[in-house]
Structure 1
Amino acid sequence: MPQLCRVLALISGNGSNLQAIIDHSQPKANYQVVGVISNKEDAYGLTRATDAGIATQCVNSISGETREAYDQRLIAAIDSYQPDLIVLAGFMRILTNELVEKYAGKMLNVHPSLLPRHTGLHTHQKAIDAGDSEHGASVHFVIPELDAGPVVLQAKVPVFEDDSAALLAARVHEQEHAIYPLVVKWFALGRLVMRQRQAYLDGELLPASGYAAD
């Protein structure tokens, strides 16, 4: 039996995407979550991991510490788990280029918008303010440029006239929980790779917007 893909998650908060990834880990998915690292001691995602019997670690920032110094400590923590794949699941820090390049092709993120629209924070309100008719989520490889890595898979939701950011976020989160574990599975099965900052699935170059989830 082939060795399962070792997945490490980085979180800062509730960890609902982490939970979805844990729930979908099974032999046919070919991965297991071997550790969860948080930069917040009170992140509920740490409890989720502990309840699932997964090792956890908190890498707190130190007052006056540079991003570079923090990321060196984070790299040491990451490497202690010997991960094959790192998933960002609500990790609320901007990573240094050095860290991102070290794990190029081995780090995924889910972003709450249909990239390249609405990068950064507050994406649900941005979609409403822009009068968008649809919104959604994108799973992408991480590169140094923020929210600019090659998209693997997107899922769309409608934007209604009476939507609030909270209502829209709830619909988007539901889609995130469906598509993120699927992309992790594709990677774990060896179907998904990043080459020269482009995503390939089953040897075929993915379009700029990735696959669209049904």
Structure 2
Amino acid sequence: MKIAVLASGNGSNFEALANAVRNGEIPAKIDLLFSDHQDAYVLKRAEKFQIPSESFELKEFENKAAYEYALLNLLKKNQIDLVILAGYMRIVGEKLLQAFPKRIINIHPALLPSFPGLHGIKDAFEAGVAETGVTVHYVDSGVDTGPVIAQEKVIIDKNDTLEILEEKIHAVEHGLYPAVIAKIIKELGHETCAD
């Protein structure tokens, strides 16, 4: 099974996945890291793990459709089977969704359907809720609306600052995401064997 990770920024979830692959927790290897920001720190993380990486930006293209077409071609050229979003800050378009049905997975730092969008942790913190969490879900054409695969709650203590809550969320993400990806890969492997 060939995996691509798409990321836009720092890449801490990418690193958690790469460590899980290295430790044998994920029964596959990451064949490609793609970033839509050429200065993203995640590219340095990929280099550290000796994972091939590619990067190009939306502004290099005439429109979003041309960008997506280039990304789809890159994934096809690398014969990718599963696409994992790890802080990829773009809405996935129809071209990719059609090419990878139920094969694009995302992690979101809130208990969906609550607090979708870019600022899930901050939105939950500012709403004053007693708990939030992490959701792993399939990607569809909406913003954080795809079918939920797994969720884990995080209690917000009254003394928590936004920074403390962010640390708690990231700690859960770094455990939950690799475990869920490992399970999905095993399930997909069984499906392939049955075909």
Equivalences for residues 134-149 of structure 1 within 5 A: 134-149=131-146
Q: Secondary structure of 1:29's match?
A: coil
Q: Secondary structure of 1:110's match?
A: strand
**Amino acid of the residue matched to residue 145 of structure 2?**
A
In structure 1, the partner of 2:193 is none
Partner Cα separation in structure 1 for residue 130 and residue 188 of structure 2: 33
Tell me which of 6, 9, 33 is aligned to 1:10: 6
In structure 1, the partner of 2:98 is 101
CA deviations on 1:48-69 (whole Å, 9 max, x unpaired) are 1111111010022235732111
Partner Cα separation in structure 2 for residue 40 and residue 112 of structure 1: 21
Q: Which runs of 5+ in 1 are unaligned?
A: 194-214
Contact 2:132 2:156 in 1 (8 A): yes
Q: TM-score, normalised by structure 2?
A: 0.90
CA deviations on 1:127-151 (whole Å, 9 max, x unpaired) are 1222210011101111111101111
Partner Cα separation in structure 2 for residue 192 and residue 134 of structure 1: 35
Q: Secondary structure of 1:136's match?
A: strand
Tell me which of 120, 141, 154 is aligned to 1:157: 154
2:156 is the counterpart of 1:169: no
In structure 1, the partner of 2:110 is 113
**Amino acid of the residue matched to residue 125 of structure 1?**
K
Q: Which runs of 5+ in 2 are unaligned?
A: 191-195
Tell me which of 19, 24, 33 is aligned to 1:23: 19
Q: Secondary structure of 1:186's match?
A: helix
Q: TM-score, normalised by structure 1?
A: 0.82
Greater Cα shift, 99-108 or 35-44: 99-108
Q: Secondary structure of 2:29's match?
A: strand
Q: Secondary structure of 2:9's match?
A: coil
Report deviation, 1:27.
Answer: 4.7
In structure 1, the partner of 2:77 is 80
2:125 is the counterpart of 1:124: no
Q: Report which of the two has the higher share of strand.
A: 1
Partner Cα separation in structure 1 for residue 140 and residue 30 of structure 2: 22
Partner Cα separation in structure 1 for residue 133 and residue 181 of structure 2: 18
Structure 1 pair 104–123 and aligned structure 2 pair: CA distance change class (3 A): same
Q: Report which of the two has the higher share of helix.
A: 2
Q: How many residues get paired?
A: 189
Greater Cα shift, 124-133 or 149-158: 124-133
Partner Cα separation in structure 2 for residue 44 and residue 172 of structure 1: 20
